[in-house]
Amino acid sequence: MIEVDRLTKRYGSTVAVADLSFRVLPGRVTGFLGPNGAGKSTTMRAVIGLDRPTAGEIRVNGRPYGSIRRPLLEVGALLDARAVHGGRSAFNHLLCIARSNGIAASRVGAVLETVGLTGVAGRRVRTFSLGMFQRLGVAAALLGNPGVLLFDEPVNGLDPEGIRWIRALMKQLASEGRTVLVSSHLMSEMALTADHLVVIGRGRLVADASVSDLLSTSSRNRVRVRSPQAEQLSVLLRQGNASVQLGPDGALEVLGMDAPAVGELAAAAGVVLHELSSQRASLEEAFMDLTRDAVDYRTEPATVEPRI
Amino acid sequence: MSLQPEPDPIEDVPADSGPVAGVPVEQTSSPTVAGGRWFGRPAVDAFGNAVRSEWTKLWTVRSTYWTLTAAFVITIGLAALVCAMTAREHGDIGGEPAAMSLTGIFMAQIAVGVLGVLVISSEYGSGMIRTTFAAVPDRLVVLAAKAVIFAFVVTVGSFVACLAAFVLGQWLLSPTGRQASLGDAGMIRIILGATAYLTLIGLIALGLGGLIRHTAGALGVLFGLMVVLQIVTQFFPVDLQERVVPYLPGTMAVSIITVSPPSMSLSAGASVAVLGVYAVVALLLAFWSMVLRDA
């Protein structure tokens, strides 16, 4: 388990993370989401003691990372896959890491096998593709067979086969009872892998909820209804305090009333319905809603200054 | 909530416990203690593990072989060149024979300095330092392990190279009849002093690598300290020169490899001691930088 407790990190006058608290529980994949610059990497670096918090603290399995004697046996992290010495072979790179924590050299071969790099174990990593770097980083994270795993944007640079592989790996690690924290700025990626989401924007917590909870509370959830008596129905709906918009295809988009209520209202008034369905917001839309006010680098709709 | 029990015995991660193989394997208490094999300590030894890791790191990159080979070739090659040329002139050899055979250390220190800087700066340059600190969170353990392994390798290597340079050089000088022999007064001191000199210059370089983090920047500062300071002090008034010049790192090699040190230099022993202080200061600065600044 990872406990982030009122973490604040400042770089000079820039606040990267502000008073952030959340817990990452074992047995599920926790997605760590936020726009670029939201503070995801800073938080992950702080978890493994690379960045010193300005305030607050982080505990891994109940204690600060720095007090764990052989941390790789408890925590594996893939933060920056390219952060390896290009002159070493994949095998030697992993061997250096293994030795630092007294991990048997035989584990190196085992994790290389796991990530599918056995064939290039002797090649200098300078020649690797980004996807191979990612696999090497995963291998390093798995070396100590840790119960807690951190992955920062692991699908970057992977080909479709690699992406499928890493999704399956993360799910399996979680199903084995491990704590898995995966960051991404891609909601769609998280929709496929994560069970739980921690969403941050501008260094602050925006949401900490299961994927399904996040979706059901989104303001984008609406009811789609089609009726030959659309005008009569929309008057009724507005009287029921729902807001109604006419969709481009002639269907009504209803906000503020769920599908059963719309159906009962129509039945009571004898209005014929041709279609009635709940429209769930996509995770992408829910994410956009959540982080609307917390995006650092936003593209504003283009506006033209009026000429005087 | 780790699924594993407290990971006490070393090498307790079975090779076949890959996560993909299934449930995390119960970690067995294997009695084959790797950390203790080298260092005679039965318990988990963070420092011993870090040292083993640094040893592996040092010998798995090419720059180590290049710089050490260069240091060997320069130390022994220059001894051969200088002594052979002098022997051809016969008669007056214009200097102490031991010092002539060790002139190579003036150039070998460049190779040693490059290796010392690279031991840390290559990790900052590539980002490997973050992996290193994640594996060994205690910065002091990391720095100490690097310094110990580097000092050990350079001490052994420099001693062999200086001894070989001395023996070869004196053999080449033998036609002049002015050659020294290992049994002469001060000769063992000179060879050990030259060894210590190269090692301490290397440790200063290592400290600068940790402080500055950039290979080129750290090398620039190192050779600024070694060479430029000496040039600058030539423009000082003589009385000030006499007080400052003996303490410049660049003047110490001469006093260490001569039997009677030239003017404006400390004794050989004092030179090694002062150089040792510089090395300690450089390493403390590196430690300070590694602890205070984020990786």
Is A289 part of a structural domain of the chain? no
CATH of residue A256's domain is: 3.30.70
Tell me whether A170 touches chain B (CB under 8 Å): no
Q: Quick: pLDDT tens for A137-173.
A: 999 999 999 999 999 999 888 899 999 999 999 999 9
Regarding beta strands A148-152 and A75-78, do their DSSP bridges make them parallel or antiparallel, or are they unpaired?
parallel
Give A-chain residues touching B295 at CB under 8 angstroms.
Answer: 45, 50-51
Evaluate whether residue A274 is within a structural domain: yes
CB contact under 8 A, B134 and A50: yes
**A290 within a domain of the structure (yes/no):** no
Closest CA to A35 of A247, A308, A303, A297: A297
| A195 and A80 share one domain | yes
A183 and A228 together in one domain: no
User: Is residue B99 within 8 Å of B179, Cβ to Cβ?
Assistant: no
Using the 3D structure, point to which of A170, A198, A216 is the last residue of a domain.
A216
- Reported as a single tens digit per residue, the pLDDT across A178-210 is 999 999 888 778 888 899 999 998 889 988 988
Q: Is residue A206 part of a domain?
A: yes
Q: Say whether B131 and A145 touch across the interface (CB within 8 A).
A: no
- Is there a single domain that holds both residue A261 and residue A169? no
Q: Going by DSSP bridges, is the β-strand pair A2-11/A14-24 parallel, antiparallel, or unpaired?
A: antiparallel
Which among B44, B56, B137 is the nearest to A71, CB-wise? B137
Q: Show which of A180, A196, A216 is a domain's final residue.
A: A216
pLDDT tens per residue across span B20-40: 433 343 343 333 334 334 444
Q: How much is the average pLDDT of B207-224?
A: 96
Nearest CA in chain A to B120: A85
A104·B52 Cβ contact <8 A: no
Interface contact flag, B60 A92, Cβ < 8 Å? yes
Say if the Cβ atoms of B19 and A169 lie within 8 Å: yes
Domain for residue A304, yes or no?
no
Q: Which residues of chain A make contact with B136, given a CB cutoff of 8 A?
A: 100-101
CATH number at residue A176: 3.40.50.300
- Whether residue A209 lies within 8 A of chain B, CB to CB, comes out as no
Report the number of distinct structural domains present in chain A. 2
Burial A62-101 (b: 16+ CB within 10 A, else e): eeebeebbbbbbbbbbbbbbebbbbbbbbbbbbbbbbbbb
Q: From the list A48, A84, A93, which residue is nearest B134 (CB)? A: A48
- On whether both A180 and A262 belong to a single domain, the answer is no
Separation of CA B118 from chain center: 11
Q: Do A199 and A226 sit in the same domain of this protein?
A: no
What contacts B217, CB < 8 A, 6 or more positions away? none
Q: Are residues A205 and A266 in the same domain?
A: no
Residue A303 belongs to some domain of the structure: no
Q: Render pLDDT for A53-86 as a digit per residue (tens, 0 to 9).
A: 999 999 999 999 999 989 999 999 999 999 999 9
Q: Check whether A271 has a pLDDT greater than 50.
A: yes
Residue A284 within any structural domain of the chain = no
Q: Specify if A294 maps to a domain.
A: no
Residue B19 distance to chain A (closest CA, Å): 7
Q: Looking at mean pLDDT, say which of A161-165, A174-178, A256-260 comes out highest.
A: A174-178
Collect all residues of chain B within an 8 Å Cβ-Cβ radius of residue A72.
134-135
ipTM over 0.85: no
User: Are A106 and A25 part of one and the same domain?
Assistant: yes
Domain housing A254: 222-279
List CB contacts (< 8 A) between B15 and chain A.
Answer: 104, 106-107, 109-110
Say yes or no for a CB contact (<8 Å) between A69 and B44.
Answer: yes
State the helix-helix crossing angle for B128-135 and B139-173, rounded to 10 degrees.
Answer: 120
A46 and A163: one domain?
Answer: yes
Last residue of a domain, one of A216, A238, A271: A216
| DSSP state letters, A4-31 | EEEEEEEETTEEEEEEEEEEE-TTEEEE
- Looking at chain B, how many residues does it have? 295
Instruction: Kindly state whether residues A100 and A134 are assigned to the same domain.
Output: yes
Chain B positions touching A140 (Cβ under 8 A) are 131
Read out DSSP for B42-67?
-S--HHHHHHHHHHHHHHTSHHHHHH
- Please answer yes or no on whether B4 and A99 come within 8 Å at the CB atom: no
Q: Among the listed ranges A171-180, B37-46, B68-77, which one has the minimum average pLDDT value?
A: B37-46
* Same domain membership, residue A166 and residue A260: no
Do A134 and A95 have their domain in common?
Answer: yes
Whether residues A72 and A165 fall in one domain: yes
Domain ranges for chain B = 1-32, 45-292
> What is the arithmetic mean of pLDDT over B94-109?
92
